[in-house]
Structure 1
Amino acid sequence: MPPRQKTSPESDPASLSGNAPEISVTELAGAIKRTVEDRFGFVRVRGEISNYRGPHSSGHVYFCLKDAGARIDAVIWKGTFARLKTRPEEGLEVVATGKLTTFPGKSSYQIVIEALEPAGIGALMALLDERRKRLAAEGLFDEGRKRPLPFLPRTIGVVTSPTGAVIRDILHRLNDRFPRRVLLWPVRVQGESCAAEVAAAIEGFNRLGQDGPIPRPDVLIVARGGGSLEDLWGFNEEIVVRAAAASEIPVISAVGHETDTTLIDFAADLRAPTPTAAAEKAVPVRMELIEQNAVLSRRLAGAERRLLDALAARLSANSRLLGAPDKALAVPRQRRDFVLERLRAAIRSGLDKRRLRLSRAAHTLARHSPQAELARASERIKGLSTRLRQGLLARAAVARHEDAVLKGRLETAERRLKRAVAEFIREKRGGVAQLEQLRRSLGHDAVLARGFALIRDESGGVIDAAAKVRPGQEMTAQFFDGVVSVRAKEASSGEEKRPAPAKPRRRPPASPGGDQGSLF
């Protein structure tokens, strides 16, 4: 057997287990948490953002910071995230300032970030280039969506600081070139709130009504003086770029000096190298317009004179070709006089003919005047009246004789007709009496009076056989003096239904009163 090794009490876990106090997992995790927080406190960590997925549904942000050799979990609380000037993006190298702590639920440590900034100018340029490419892919920088500026705007909106030299330069340049109404929307042009204020100003100008108390600008100038990349960073924010791209009012970007470039320059409808240049691009030079107008007026007046001279020369040439107006109208005037003379002669001839016809008609009317015609008609009427009176007297005498003869004939015919009608009525009454006697002898009432009954079912139908009766069926029995309701009984057990012997009888003929049913 190999020799047993000797162990000291300090190196033997079994010997320590009996003396060390027991603690829970929670206590151990709390002790580690306090140790880490007391030892490190606030730290500044440089690394690359990884596994960034945007804010959680709770509003907190979770991601990792890594470098070539290690990684650490990071968290930004909801309230801190809203105040950050630089927002985390995947792959961005940043310097994070925060408090180191542990998360006992996962037995891991993490940094709670309070501030975040890009790691140097190189990181800012990389972030700017990545953002520019992403927004360009969305079409926000397309030349096709950019609109021309108005030639002479009535109102100009300026988005800049109210205390800087920029607004003074713009106003001074506008007064020199062409004074216009200017509306200033004061904003911060540097700092954490710069981007939000600039975007709100652009959107606020667009929300103004056309006929409201505050006139809506025809063009916007977003301006700021020069500065470092960090100073101009607010104009590289996505919110500002989207507001400029969505503006219905044309936007002139004048941020920084000529060598400075921001993302709003790509989204604006026009980029000016300086705020003064933006004012120059917004309005034309008033004196140049006046001079140009004078030149055009002189050219228009000269063109009018030349046109009138040309028209006068053409009129003179045409007048020579046409000849004298009197000569051209001499033949038509002579033709007119000849036509008028013929017309007067025709009118006189027509009047003479009509006068002759009128005199002849007057002579004819005199011979056939209405008074003479009326007198002759009256004489004819008197003669006809006399003849008519005589004819009527003779006709009345003949009519009286004929009436007497006809009256005698009518009285004879009336007596004969009365005798024939009385004889016909007596014959028909005898026939009716015979039919009534036959009906009474053949009708079912006489049969019922001899002790028979007429059986009907619930619906009024006649039951003419015992096989049609159901046990317990409700029926009615009609006797000669009334109707009685009856119910059929069930046959006794062992008792066989036997049909009653039928009496030979002659079926009576159908009575004139209709169907009388079957009798039992």
Structure 2
Amino acid sequence: MDDPLIDAARRLLAEGTAGSNSAAISVSELSQALKRTVEDRFGHVRIRGEVSGWKKAASGHAYLTLKDEDACIDAVMWRNAAARLAFRPEDGIEVIATGKLTTYPGRSKYQLVIDTMELAGEGALMLLLEKVKAKLAAEGLFATDRKRPLPFLPRVIGVVTSPTGAVIRDILHRLEDRCPTRVIVWPVQVQGQGAAEQVAAAIAGFCALPEDGDIPRPDLLIVARGGGSIEDLWAFNEEPVVRAIAAATIPLISAVGHETDTTLADHAADRRAPTPTAAAEMAVPVKAELERTLATRGQSIERCARRYVARGAERLAAASRLMPSLPGLLDPQRERAAAAAARLDRALGRRVADARGDLARAGGALRPPLLRQRVALGRDRLARVGLEPRLLLRSAARAHERLDRLSRLLASLDPDRPLARGFARVMARGALISSAGQARDAGAMLLHFADGEVAVRSDKAPAPRRSAPAASDQGSLL
């Protein structure tokens, strides 16, 4: 007798089986039943596992896999939940995810929808910190050659911190004690969700201020926060803050936590301060010390100036002793000026006398009787000549002949004509010298040649005249 089960397996068409009440259901019905069962049973779960394949889509959703040594489960974080994350997950970090299980009937898969995600203990947090640190260090954000010197005396200091905490009061109080400086506070949240973005935006905002804007651009930035646990300070380990500090165009001091606290912001900053109060001390010098230094240096400069002036006075006195006196320099010049003035007076007197003589001679030739006589003679001659052209031409010819004779005579009598033949005219004080005696008495003379003049002086005594040879007593031979 055949087995009913074997017979049912051999049947080609499905038929109802006697004694069976299990009706056939569809795949969708089974999938929906599984979905309801899973979601009802695992509506709230906390899963501990290692992050693998973390990926954040452009839509804001995040996809990852949680795994341990023996199994793995796919997970998803919708955009709102991913935006609330207090840290940026990295592959290999152990986390505790809270959410619910759900199925995807189209693929016969199930996955974990994560509402919150936390690091699984401080060890995982430190591991994440080391991963981020190694990544940023490889990009050169912590390089020593990127560090810039702080300004010696900043005019404006920008502070990025919470406006309500004790940190800003400590900074302001310390600056007031050391060197009062203008401070601009950019209020931010220093821990919790969104703190990292606010701090990064504040740093970028300070750097974006124009040089000549209504709000003065700071010469120095201080990013400050009080002490706390590593979770409290975690915002200053976030990539946005570290990258904003590294990209800052203004020198920056990181003053996060107490002396033993260290964040990645400290590595990227130009200078790390152990406390916010220490950051204020680094930012400005002590005004009183500056005043004392300036006073000391001013006194040194004054002493040097006085010493320089004293040495200059000594050198001047020594040089003045070697220099001739003013009267000694001026007396010879005064004597020369007096002698020249005396000679000028005598020369002017002689010149005036000569001019008067010339005027007298010219005036004698122009006496009215002589002029009237010559006018009468001219009238008589004119009356005798008349206006006959023949007589006028004859008179003009005779006048021409007479003029030619006078011209030739004048040329022969020209006193400068013999000079061209080698003769010289001797003059002394405007008078002609015609004898040796006059020349000896004159002393200084001027020899006029055809091509110029030569000044000479007669200083020698007159040479004795050579006597005529005495008559010989010897008789003539003829």
Question: Which TM-score band (shorter chain)?
Answer: 0.5 to 0.7
Deviation at 1:354, TM superposition (A): 9.8
* SS of residue matched to 1:51: strand
Residues in 1 aligned to 2:332 and 2:74: alpha-carbon distance in whole angstroms: 117
Q: Corresponding residue for 2:423? A: none
Contact 1:86 1:116 in 2 (8 A): no
1:193 matches 2:159: no
Q: 1:335 to 1:226 in 2, by over 3 A?
A: same
String of CA shifts for 1:71-123, please: whole Å, max 9, x gaps: 11111112221222122222222221111111122211111111112222222
Match of 2:396 in 1: none
Cα offset for 1:8? 7.7
Q: Which residue is 2:40 aligned to?
A: 38
Q: Bigger CA drift: 179-188 or 308-317?
A: 179-188
Look up the equivalent residue of 2:149 and give its one-letter code: P
Partner of 1:74: 75
Q: Structure 1 180/318 Cα, relative in aligned 2: closer, same or farther at 3 Å?
A: same
Which residue matches 2:240? Answer: 239
Q: How many residues align?
A: 365
Deviation at 1:268, TM superposition (A): 1.4
- Written as runs of structure 1 = structure 2, the 5 A alignment for 1:358-377 is none
Q: Is the 8 A contact 1:256 1:273 kept in 2?
A: yes
CA drift of 1:186 comes to 1.7
Distance 2:213 2:7 in 1: 88
Alpha-carbon offset, residue 239 of structure 1: 0.8
1:72-471 correspondence runs (5 A): 72-337=73-338
Distance of aligned partners of 1:139 and 1:25 in 2 relative to their CA distance in 1, 3 Å threshold: same
Deviates more, 1:154-163 or 1:219-228: 154-163
Q: Name the CA shift for 1:40/1:314 in 2 (closer, same or farther; >3 Å).
A: same
Query: Which residue is equivalent to 1:450?
Result: none
Letter matched to residue 183 of structure 1? I
Tell me how far apart the structure 1 counterparts of residues 361 and 48 of structure 2 sit (CA, whole Å): 139
Distance 1:308 1:11 in 2: 132
SS state of the match for residue 260, structure 2? coil
Decide whether the 8 Å contact of 1:221 with 1:253 is kept in 2. Answer: yes
Alpha-carbon contact 2:87-2:238 (below 8 Å) kept: no
Over residues 10-43 of structure 1, what are the superposed CA-to-partner deviations in whole Å (9 max), with x where a residue is unaligned? 9976799744322222222111111111111121
Q: Deviation digits for residues 116-155 of structure 1, max 9, x if unmatched?
A: 1222222222211221222222222223232222222222
Equivalent residue letter for 1:181:
R
How far residue 326 of structure 1 moved from its aligned partner, in angstroms, is: 2.2
Which of 36, 48, 53 is the matching residue for 1:51?
A: 53
| Structure 1 segments unaligned to the other structure (5+ residues) | 377-381, 384-520
Q: CA 1:22–1:292 in structure 2 vs 1: closer, same or farther (change >3 Å)?
A: same
Using the size of structure 1 for normalisation, the TM-score is 0.63
Identity %: 57
2-structure distance, mates of 1:156, 1:22: 78
| Whole-angstrom distance in 2 between the partners of 1:354 and 1:21 | 167
Contact 1:63 1:73 in 2 (8 A): yes
> Which amino acid letter does the alignment assign opposite residue 295 of structure 1?
T
The one-letter amino acid paired with 1:31 is: A
Structure 2: gaps (5+ residues) = 366-370, 372-377, 383-387, 390-478
Query: Which amino acid is 1:27 matched to?
Result: E
* CA RMSD, 1 decimal: 3.4
